[in-house]
Homo-oligomer: A and B are copies of this chain.
Amino acid sequence: MASPEESGDSVEPVIDLKSDQFFMGEALREAQKAYLQEEVPVGAVIVHEERIIARAFNQVETLKDATAHAEMIALTQAQSALGDWRLSDCQLYVSKEPCPMCAGAIIHCRIQRVIFGCRDEKGGAAGGFINLLQQDTLNHCAEITPDILGEESAQLLRTFFEEARTKRKDRDLARGQDLGDFSYGSN
């Protein structure tokens, strides 16, 4: 049988298992897990010598811990995997630009490069409202690659927040109804 090349059919795109797009796809899978748990959908993976050594997603509400961002959990996992807090040969992939807390943690752990999906102009600390990853006064600087699967990452966040707003409205309406039942006379 003729191969696709010989027959002139279009060739299936080969997935490069070492590309930024591939690893960001894995970070997005993590973000999806957050979405399914009704958490702000952000996911992260950490790569060492072209292999994923940590995967995590945002778990602020599940763990009742405002510091439980995807990046923080992934950093702790990676440190545990390598038995060292120095992650100098590691790359961190995260679906949204890191906040100041996570950027600070990334610098403490000496991550070599940070690759992120969508930008956060208001709260981002990798060039959004500030760039903490490249400050001469701090102990370490990390390379930055923005906008990898940025639109997919942003779309997941938009969907989450739109649904959250709708749910909140419905809940407020339902509560108003309940209050009406119990607080007769108060119109």
Cβ A137 vs Cβ B109 within 8 A: no
Q: A101's contact among B84, B104, B135, B137, by CB below 8 Å, is which?
A: B104
Is chain A's interface secondary structure helix, strand, loop, or mixed overall?
loop
> How many residues on chain A are close to B (CB under 8 Å)?
35
What is the CB-to-nearest-CB distance from A133 to chain B, in angstroms, rounded to a whole number?
10
* Cβ–Cβ < 8 Å partners of A130 in chain B: 130
Contacts of A123 in B (CB 8 A): 137-139
Known A101-B105, A108-B101; contact A75-B64, beta-carbon cutoff 8 A: no
Q: In the complex, what distance in Å separates the CA atom of A141 from the CA atom of B109?
A: 26
Could you tell me which A residues sit within 8 Å of B by CB distance?
60, 64-67, 72, 75-76, 79-80, 83-86, 99-105, 107-110, 122-123, 125, 129-130, 132, 135, 137-139
